Amino acid sequence: MVVENDLNEFKLKPMKCELNFLSKSDGSAILSQGQTVAVVSVNGPLDIKTQSQNPYNSTLEVLFCSKIGRTSVADRCKENVIRQTCEAAILGSLYPRTGITVTVQELEDYGGLLACCLNCTCLALLNSGVSMQYLFAAVSCVVDERGDVVLDPTEQALATARARLTFVFDNRDKSLVTFFTDGTFSRDTQKEALERCRAASDLIFGFYRSIVGKYSNVI
């Protein structure tokens, strides 16, 4: 079952999603934002080796697999952002001495890959049934050559951008969970980008609700 939505109202790329995409995982999702596509699988909570156990919390492992297969510093940065975001959202204290593994696979990157991976991860966690204290949504933007903020940029816009920014918000009060930036920009530009991405996150959360609602009706 593929669920799609058109987010042109806020100049975001159309999104399509399918849950339960992988049969051998506790939760999975494939998500496209425009032509950018990611697949995420979640396994756990599972028993892990004693030396890796945390007596008070679950142990989260995030693996990012690029399309080309080789690991780069940029891939490790993506893993770190995704792991920090998931650790803040998952109620790990409910699963002490266990492990949760999140595997993120890049399929296509035409701009906004990190945001797509984060949103796909949230959907896969929802599908897995892991308890979370909130949902999270990521929105990317760039600062172009003129200093304007452009939401959900294309590959062409990214190539000429002065800066790239990705913000992650929770669904309770739209608080900033984490963010990743690259490039140079003014403080005022950062504030503008933050507020525009915060407003756009409402559409992402609305997309989540439509997916969960349609899958619940099928079940």
In 3-state terms the chain splits into helix, strand, coil percentages (rounded to 5) of 35, 35, 30
Q: Which numeric CATH code is attached to 3-218? A: 3.30.230.70
The pLDDT of 188-198, averaged and rounded, is 96
Instruction: Give the ranges where 90-186 is alpha helix by DSSP (H).
Output: 113-128, 155-159
3-state per-residue secondary structure call for 13-27 = CCEEEEECCCCCCCE
- Mean pLDDT of the region 147-167: 93
Q: Residues 32-54: pLDDT tens digits? A: 999 999 999 999 999 999 999 99
DSSP letter string, 90-106? B-GGGSTTEEEEEEEEE
**Number of helices followed by number of strands (H, E) in the chain:** 4, 10
| Number of Cβ atoms within 10 Å of the Cβ of 188 | 9
Burial 129-147 (b: 16+ CB within 10 A, else e): ebebeebbbbbbbbbbeee
- 179 pLDDT exceeds 60? yes
Residue-range domain boundaries for the chain: 3-218
Residues 32/111, Cβ–Cβ less than 8 Å? no
| Cα–Cα distance, 149 to 81 (Å, whole number) | 22
Instruction: Tell me, yes or no, if the pTM score tops 0.85.
Output: yes
Q: Per-residue confidence at 55, pLDDT binned at 50, 70, 90?
A: very high
